[in-house]
Chains A and B, each alone.
Chain A
Amino acid sequence: MTTLARTMLRDADEAADVVEDALLRMRDAAPGFRGARGLKTWALRIVANRCRDLLRRRRFAAGRPEDFDPIVESGLRADPIEGWDEAIDQGRMLAALERAIDRLPREQREAVILRDRLGLSYDEVAETLGVRVPAVKSRLFRARAFLRTELRAAMEDHIS
């Protein structure tokens, strides 16, 4: 829940508020929870909806400063990648990827975070986002194509 909120909002404090609200809402709604949907997808759906509300309100907010580090500012943590080519600066690549994720349309960003970052199945992603599996696959396909292009460009910049 925290990973989703932080990646969506890029603000650790706002993300903490969202997760808190989501947990309280879950507590209030728990008596009516029938278990038809998985607990995990239910919780993530609440977080995703709350993040959408906040992002909608933030539409006209000022842009990020030049030196904005998307991972540090979001309160996220980057694990060292096993077998990573030492010639390529992992931190720089991760920051470039996070910036590219931020540029994705919201629907695609949600799908990428849920599927690739949190490891949900296609069915779970579809359930969380309230869409059908083909729609999830389509969003992921377009999102990954965009991210691959951005990553390649970042690597070329890095090498040159």
Chain B
Amino acid sequence: MTIDHDDDPRLTRLLTAVRADAEPALWTRVRARAEARRPVGGPLAWIMRPAALAASFAILLGTAALALTLGDTRSASGGDEYATLGEALVAERAADVTPATSVPAPARSAAGDSGTRE
């Protein structure tokens, strides 16, 4: 296949006759955008990196999962559940008081009550 650039001079002249003028405002706009996108330095730049964002997100998820796991374990081992703090305190108080107020069963050999008839 042989191709001659000037195989059709009229076509070539028409093609080369059309072009775009240079746009002076273009450079101003590009310079302004370049200034606006000036890179941020230091830790802020690191934080904005996609890898850093992904790592932060992974840490967040890990922490949330750990918190949920710990919460479940605690509620499972907690035993009694009380709706309010008041109920919990009353129950705890009752647990403390009960052994002291309980009356031991009288021994068979013990003396009977004076009011009873033998």
Q: Taking beta carbons and an 8 Å cutoff, which residues of A are in contact with B?
A: 2-3, 6-7, 15-16, 19-20, 23-24, 27, 71, 74-81, 84, 90, 93-94, 97-98, 112, 115-117, 119, 137-138, 140-141, 144, 147-148, 151
Contacts and interface: CB of A to CB of B under 8 A. Distances in A.
Contacts of A117: 15-16, 18-19
Contact of B30 (A7, A24, A77, A141): A24
Given A20-B30, A27-B34, A137-B1, A2 B22 contact: yes
Interface stretch (B3-11, B48-56, B65-73, B91-99): B3-11
Contacts of B26: 2, 16, 19-20, 23
Interface string B21-33: 1110010011001
A7 B29 CA distance: 22
13 contacts: A2-B22, A16-B23, A20-B30, A76-B19, A77-B19, A81-B13, A81-B14, A116-B12, A117-B15, A119-B16, A137-B3, A138-B1, A148-B8
Contacts, number: 83
Contact of B20 (A20, A77, A80, A81): A77
B22 A20 contact: no
Nearest to A6: B20
B17 interface: yes
**Secondary structure type dominating chain A contacts:** helix
A130 to B, nearest CB: 20
Given A144-B7, A144-B8, A79 B20 contact: no
B3 A140 contact: yes
In the A-B complex, the 6 residue pairs with the smallest Cβ-Cβ separation, listed nearest first, are: A2-B20, A116-B15, A3-B20, A23-B30, A79-B17, A3-B19
